[in-house]
Amino acid sequence: MKQGFRAAVLLGALLGFGLGAPVHAATDAKKSQSVAKKSGSKDVAAAKQSGKAAGAPARKSVATNAGKAPAKSATAASKAPVKSASRAAPQKTASAQGSKKSMRKVSMADVDPRRLMLYSASALVIDQETGQPLLEKQSDTVVPIASISKLMTAMVVLDAKLDLNEVIAIGDDDVDGLKGTRSRLPVGTTMTRETAMLLALMSSENRAAHALGRHYPGGMPAFVRAMNQKAQVLGMSSSRFEEPTGLSSNNVSTAKDLARMVAAAARYPEIRHFSTTEEARVDLNGHVRDFHNTNALVRSDNWEIGVSKTGYISEAGRCLVMQARVADKPVVIVLLDSAGKMTRVGDANRIKRWMESASLVPDRRPV
């Protein structure tokens, strides 16, 4: 009996152990899952806290949205490169600027002036800042200069410091007996020396210019001597003056000499003002007359002219000299013996366009 009881107890114990093992295993599995969940929660919390401490919104966004919304993750990913690009933009911009051709100022000598097709027989453009010629065409040829002579006439009068308010009269001796040119100043017309200079420089009035010389101390011979002495002082070694108007073909010079004369004339405020005056209304013995500048360029908004003078006789052709600012550069322009009434103006405009186009060229220096 005792042995039977022991066997029954042992069998019950064995049965109890076998049935309890699965229960304990399931319990242990649940405990493991719970521990894993708690551990995962702590990791997530730690990641959130780390993101806040580091101040990294992108990391926070990726961490927050990674497991919930793939679409949002894609959106965040698409935004990330934009932010990165915007931060790198200054460097890319600098690189792009470096890759572009930089620009630099250059000498006009870097551009071939022969493409200009100038129609003036003699031409010269001088850079007043350096004294260097920017363009030359037969600049040493001695030719008649016509009314360009009147710039020298004005300088001689101003150098003598004569009273500009003194009244002078147009006389018979002032009438052109050489070329027979007309004038709007009848014999007997009176005007101040200042008005005579204005009309001589602006409208190229020959009688006004001749009267200025005739009313010079010592008369016309003394005046012509003063003109040639002034030319020598200026270094105009190839120039000769015979009278103050330029009607004589014996008034001769070269483009180089005239560039010196124009640069000197630009130092006289009166010459700068009178030679660039567009038009003037003058009362001559009770008759009001309108006079205009013989150089149409002084009326152009595209030109900044300091000194201007035109000239024409058949022996000299059409002539034009100017001191001007072109392409932000002070220059003297001399154009002599131009064929055609408007050719000298056309040549001046061609020179201007050439200088403006040549003032900036690509600099191919390595970046």
239 is known as an active-site residue: no
User: Do 322 and 348 meet the contact criterion of CB atoms below 8 Å apart?
Assistant: yes
The half-sphere exposure of 107 on its side-chain side, counting CA atoms within 13 A, is 11
> Nearest 5°: CA angle at 97, between 95 and 101?
120
Vertex 363 angle, CA 360 and 366, to 5°: 165
Of the residues 150, 230, 256, 352, which is catalytic?
A: 150
Is 38 among the catalytic positions?
Answer: no
Cβ-based neighbour number of residue 283 at 10 Å: 10
Among 120, 122, 139, 147, which one carries the catalytic annotation?
147
Task: Give the Cα-Cα-Cα angle 335, 232, 179 (nearest 5 degrees).
Answer: 50
DSSP reduced 3-state for 44: helix
Question: What b/e readout covers 87-125, taking b as 16+ CB neighbours within 10 angstroms?
Answer: eeeeeeeeeeeeeeeeeeeeebeebebeebebbbbbbbb
Give the count of alpha carbons within 13 A of 211, CB side only.
30
Query: Could you report how far apart the first and last alpha carbons of the chain are, in Å?
Result: 111
Burial of 348 (0-12, 13-18, 19+ CB in 10 A): buried
Closest CA to 142 of 313, 257, 226, 247: 257
**Known catalytic residue: 150?**
yes
CA atoms within 13 A on the CB side of 69: 10
The count of C-alpha atoms lying within 13 angstroms of the C-alpha of 277, restricted to the half-sphere facing its C-beta, is 22
List phi, psi (to 5°) of 70: -55, -35
Strands 120-127 and 317-326, by their bridges, are unpaired
Catalytic residue among 139, 203, 204, 338: 204
Would you name the residues annotated as active-site residues?
147, 150, 204
